[in-house]
Structure 1
């Protein structure tokens, strides 16, 4: 049986603490091969020289106090994980947090990168543009951005039948969780209302009839997609139910996750319907910019 390799990024902040609690409280140690605990120390500028010939770009150095703090943070997190039954590896690196985590993940090839949403390194609540957002976008592995400490019981899976949505479905079924989960498969469809400007009033009825037919066909297709994903999860022993919604996919996923008080929202990194904009790009609404729960962006490990 495959055991999950986890790369846990921490800076000792409250967000990183939530991610650690989610790992300890939600994941079964026997299903995890190793947890590599990594902390990134930002380089600081030493300053410009006082003589003209020394002028130029400032030299960057690693602050000793920051390095010692990072080592302590990693050591403390590793000890807590070991006490919970996990095997750990400790790592401290220097550089820009997001770039360093992504580069390290490219070398180490974990199955899952875990980190929080806010931290001492300037993580913002908004996933886009933050360290967590950049890692979720570029890491060569699935990325779990923790917003709650766990455990994980209720999961919302965004599914649109795309290849990446299939990865998300597989990821839900293979997570090494401590307890069983209930999954709500959310398939959203959207049919844009036609513009009436420039249309003769005598054509309104025909246009409306055509849109109603489009809605009917879209709903039928969405029902079939959600039912198929639900069936596949049930066949794997997962408690799953379908939910089909009309509206923008990213908004419907966020609304459903909030409505169900979901512990985890799972999607593929790309999709046929643009679901990825919710997790990796859209800032058009508060609900979209601030998802109410932890988010798992599923991505295939190149070595898998």
Structure 2
């Protein structure tokens, strides 16, 4: 297993309840070059110089059933050699009781409960780390204290994480929510891409593109991240033109309105066809197995349907599209896709949008 370092702060000392490092390696900083022999090439003797980008992934873990999906997906990803996976658990502190001569017993009981919870989380984390062990992957674990969503967003920013993996729901009290409040807030505010895990692996990818800055940033990740190597990618763009109301249109104008709508739809489909075709071509040129698809209708509905029809277990989408307000961190299409899809969803924002 290698060297293990552990640090446990006092329960009342705030963040940093536990920190452990397993299998220390080179770490995520920098990158490594490797020579790759092209497969099935007419020029078998040619070598392509590929830069392998090391990654730092944060795995948010709270012991919930949905967190187990996140663990399974993190373990299934083909992390580049010498990358780091950091398992982070955030313990929300119990409300402290004012110390008075008659409340010392209650304070002692509160601290005992917190100590028991910490011990349970440490045991659960150790199991997660053990399940994730593999050659070439540096594993870290940390138990932090504070408001979960806030601490996770701060941890992503301070650590320089490439991606944060979260379950769709946590240990909240309303189990029927499609996306838990912690996961939703992390998706909304994290500076790094956030992977909402619902599937145990990634075998097929649907990339939703509209040509916006976040979509182009997502496309760049599909090229840069070696975890997507060899996976088929369906690039889908959706032409969305609002249908005219039947009421309130003079009978003499109805035909003109319908013809104008058909023309607008034709133009929109041509625009989105260029977006999808160009994106698929760039991905293909970068060595990805990418194909394009055009659909018409409500973007979120069509993206979810396309993923289901293609059997995609991962949807990659920009945080907001061309129609999104610049002050909105997460657009309605991305939000609706996260809430409505059975597939895992990777949300990517453009640099400077966080």
TM-score in terms of structure 1 length: 0.86
Q: Structure 1 residues 37 and 123 mapped into 2: Cα distance closer, same or farther (>3 Å)?
A: farther
Q: Structure 1 residues 113 and 22 mapped into 2: Cα distance closer, same or farther (>3 Å)?
A: same
Per-residue CA shift, 1:20-77, capped at 9, x if unaligned? Answer: 22122222341x62111111111112446788999xxxxx968111111122222222
- Distance in 2 (CA, whole Å) between partners of 1:80 and 1:243 is 38
Is contact 1:81-1:87 (8 Å) kept?
A: no
Deviation at 1:19, TM superposition (A): 1.4
Match of 1:279 in 2: 334
Match of 1:252 in 2: 302
Is contact 1:41-1:95 (8 Å) kept?
A: yes
Per-residue CA shift, 1:184-243, capped at 9, x if unaligned? Answer: 111001111222433321111111111111111111111111111110110011111111
- Distance in 2 (CA, whole Å) between partners of 1:288 and 1:256 is 14
- Distance in 1 (CA, whole Å) between partners of 2:262 and 2:349 is 36
Residue aligned with 1:216, SS: helix
Deviation at 1:149, TM superposition (A): 0.7
Match of 2:236 in 1: 186
Is contact 1:155-1:264 (8 Å) kept?
A: yes
Match of 1:141 in 2: 192
Is contact 1:269-1:276 (8 Å) kept?
A: yes
Deviation at 1:140, TM superposition (A): 0.9
Is contact 2:240-2:297 (8 Å) kept?
A: yes
Higher mean displacement: 39-48 or 206-215: 39-48
Is contact 1:123-1:131 (8 Å) kept?
A: no
Q: Structure 1 residues 258 and 125 mapped into 2: Cα distance closer, same or farther (>3 Å)?
A: farther
Which consecutive unaligned segments of at least 5 residues does structure 1 have? 55-59
Match of 2:94 in 1: 44
C-alpha RMSD over aligned residues: 2.7
Alignment match of 1:115 (pick from 157, 161, 166): 166
Q: Structure 1 residues 288 and 78 mapped into 2: Cα distance closer, same or farther (>3 Å)?
A: closer
Q: Structure 1 residues 164 and 17 mapped into 2: Cα distance closer, same or farther (>3 Å)?
A: same
Which consecutive unaligned segments of at least 5 residues does structure 2 have? 1-50, 105-109, 325-329
TM-score in terms of structure 2 length: 0.75
The count of aligned residue pairs is: 290
Residue aligned with 2:287, SS: coil
Whose RCO is larger (CA < 8 A, sep 6+)? Answer: 1
- Distance in 2 (CA, whole Å) between partners of 1:127 and 1:99 is 20
Higher mean displacement: 236-245 or 125-134: 125-134
